[in-house]
Amino acid sequence: MENEKNKRIHFRSYIQWPIWLGLIWIPVIIVLSFLDKSSMMFAIVAFILFEVAAWVLYYRYKKKIAKELVEFAADYSQMQRSMLDGMEIPYAVCDEKGNVFWSNDIFKTSLGEKNKSRLNLKSVFSDVEGLMPSGEKDSIVHHVLLEKKSYRLSIRRITWEKGNGAENGVIPDETVLYAVYMYDETEILYLKKEWTNNQLVAGLIYMDNYEEALEGLEDVRKSLLIALVDRKITHYFSKYHCILRKLEKDKYLFVVAWKYLEDMREKKFTLLEDTKSVNIGNDMAITLSMGIGVHGDSFEQSYEYAKVAIDLALGRGGDQVVLKDRNDVEYFGGKSHSLEKSTRVKARVKAHALQELIESADKVFCMGHHLSDIDSIGAAIGVCRAAADSGKKGYIVLDTVIGSIKPLLEKMKQSGEYNDLFISREKALEMVEDNSICCVVDVNRPNITECPELLKKAKRIVVIDHHRQTNERIDGAVLSYIEPYASSACEMVAEILQYYNDGVKLKNIEADAIYAGIVVDTDHFNSKTGIRTFEAAAFLRKSGADAVRVRKMFREDIEDYRVSADSIAGAEVFMDHFAISECTGKTNESLNVVAAQTANSLLNINGIKASFVMAAMENKIYISARSIDEINVQIIMEKLGGGGHMNIAGAQVEGYSSAQVRQMIKNTIQAMKEKGEI
């Protein structure tokens, strides 16, 4: 600003230049004094006449020139004012308190009749926080609603020199003023909203239990049942002007505008419950799964999102809707139990695929989740036995040994046949090769596996798990076998072993380990059991598993009983049906295992529908959640970053105290209860 001030041409200096120009006569006179006296006298007379004429002209025309300059400046200023007044963009100048010094006509019109008299921005936009730029900010933008129109309010700080341009005292000698622009974006926002509302959304619908629901029905009733389900689906989507096409006997594709999808979301996709109401004598209600892809860069990408979403819905047990976009996944439904498939075709297909992969590999590495329990260890032992049957060497990655698996590991060590079966994660990372296979059991989330780094180094990955999938999953698996209906990973492995290479011969201790995994995960066959669970147990009993040996293997220590008893005694009953407690104290078992056992015990209390038991370990709070049939604890744990099954779930929370986690559980339950999610 100072440089601009120095560059200005001042009016007085400009009109005085002829006077100062006359001074060049002085050196001429001095030179002539040495050359010619008569010439010198002539030069002196000329100099005096020139200066007199210059001064006369200066005093005579100074006021006239100044007057003309002022008139020009006034005309120029008036032209600027006229241009600002007629500018189509609302514009104003105010101080930091919001007082408006000057505004054009359209600005006043935009404020509306009731605000024209209130020339203060802070009173007009009283609901806008931080209206004026502050600190180092030179400008700020707000999106405001005024007189039923939407505006982008742009406020820019400007510097105003003292005394410059103040007209009749309207603008005070302030050092800082603010230029205010109001851009009408009503039409732009309307068009943007219309574009979003009419954006096409792709969706897929699968019947979860088509074959099972039709089983045992007469041919006429089968056709009628499918026709009624088709009618329910067609009627539901006809309200939303949707394109619906049947791809296969139990699969549909639909395309709908985004604005109609919003209505479906608000009503929680009532089609899921409507379909279950169809009954013409069928023992099993048909359930649907829906996968919807939204906000893709193209319709093709939205369709790819829909395929990922339907895989997630089926992987979580079906009877639910999954919305997938480029970043997030949203779940609806999933309140019913996963339906057990009566056919073993899928198990046989997966067994043959696993056999081909193992036979083409050099080494097989198996691992479960961190702090592996008997289900993950038993399933890994089964996969390693299959590898041995194909003449391949199998290894189980295990770092931390919890108390519940120590008796099994001691027995295996005593046999002398399994000394090199268990390896550390560091050893596994050294041994893995390009032609190795990494088989992940009893977990499908990469960050909680025993060795997440191994997943990055292994070229081929196999996943065998019975937990419901979340949006965090193991990518790039060449074989994925995830069945939420299964009681345990050991049950799934037991089925695979029956079809692997026409049946695998298990050793007694191996059969005991797999059988123990089923026993523990089903709470001694009291929860989440189906026909195939008992068939898998029967196969293991035939292979040499002994129920008495397994029971002795997992008898609890007296210290564990005391910790569990104290936790039960200190349990809090929340909202009449939820038991919340914490396991603390000295125990020979890992606290999270005792917490799981305690959560099971709390369900025996009359009126308790779900139990949540916390355990503080490794700077984390482990939560074990259990229910019988009415409450889906899986979706509750997902809110806390965990997952699992409808009746058996858990979560690991880091950075919070036990009291804070207890309150988080309460808040989550209460919020989901109010929304009708549980």
Q: What are the residues whose beta carbons fall under 8 Å from the beta carbon of 547, sequence distance 6 or more? A: 515, 519, 541
Q: What is the pLDDT of residue 286?
A: 87
Nearest CA to 386 among 378, 394, 377? 394
pLDDT of residue 137: 78
Q: What is the per-residue pLDDT for 186? A: 87
What φ, ψ does residue 632 adopt, rounded to 5°?
A: -90, 100
Q: Residue 672: is it exposed, middle or buried by C-beta count within 10 angstroms (0-12/13-18/19+)?
A: middle
Please determine, for residue 171, whether its predicted confidence score (pLDDT) is greater than 60: no
The CATH fold of domain 558-675 = Diaminopimelate Epimerase; Chain A, domain 1 (3.10.310)
Average pLDDT over residues 310-321: 82
pLDDT at res. 646: 79
Distance CA 632, CA 645 (A): 8
Is pTM, for the whole model, over 0.85? no
Domain 198-333 belongs to what architecture? 2-Layer Sandwich (3.30)
Q: Is the pLDDT of residue 468 over 80?
A: no
Helix-then-strand count for the chain, H and E: 26, 23
Share of the chain above pLDDT 90, in %: 31
Distance CA 160, CA 155 (A): 15
Query: Does the pLDDT of residue 632 top 70, yes or no?
Result: yes
Give the integer Cα–Cα distance in Å for 415 and 515: 19
All CATH 3.30.450.20 domain ranges of the chain, comma separated, are: 87-192
Residue with tokens 């125990």: 587
Instruction: Tell me how far apart the alpha carbons of residues 89 and 132 are, in angstroms, rounded to a whole number.
Output: 19
Interval 434-457: pLDDT, tens = 899 999 999 988 988 999 999 989
Q: Residues 565-584: pLDDT tens digits?
A: 999 999 999 999 999 999 98
Q: Which CATH number does 87-192 carry?
A: 3.30.450.20
Say yes or no to pLDDT of 75 above 90: no
The CATH 3.90.1640.10 portion of the chain extends over 345-553
Cα–Cα distance measured from residue 581 to residue 385, given in angstroms and rounded to the nearest whole number: 40
The DSSP secondary structure of 325-362, one letter per residue, reads -SS-EEEEE--SPPPPPS--HHHHHHHHHHHHHHHT-S
The closest of 519, 522, 520, 555 to 540, measured between CA atoms, is 519
345-553: CATH, from 3.90.1150.10, 3.90.1640.10, 3.90.1170.10, 3.40.930.10: 3.90.1640.10
Beta bridge partners of 129: none
Distance between CA atoms of 541 and 33, rounded to whole angstroms? 138
Which residues of the chain form CATH 3.30.70.270?
198-333
Residue 298, pLDDT above cutoff 90: no
Q: Which of 74-83, 368-377, 452-461, 650-659 comes out lowest in average pLDDT?
A: 74-83
Q: Residue 643 has what pLDDT?
A: 81
- Segments of the chain assigned to CATH 3.10.310.30: 558-675
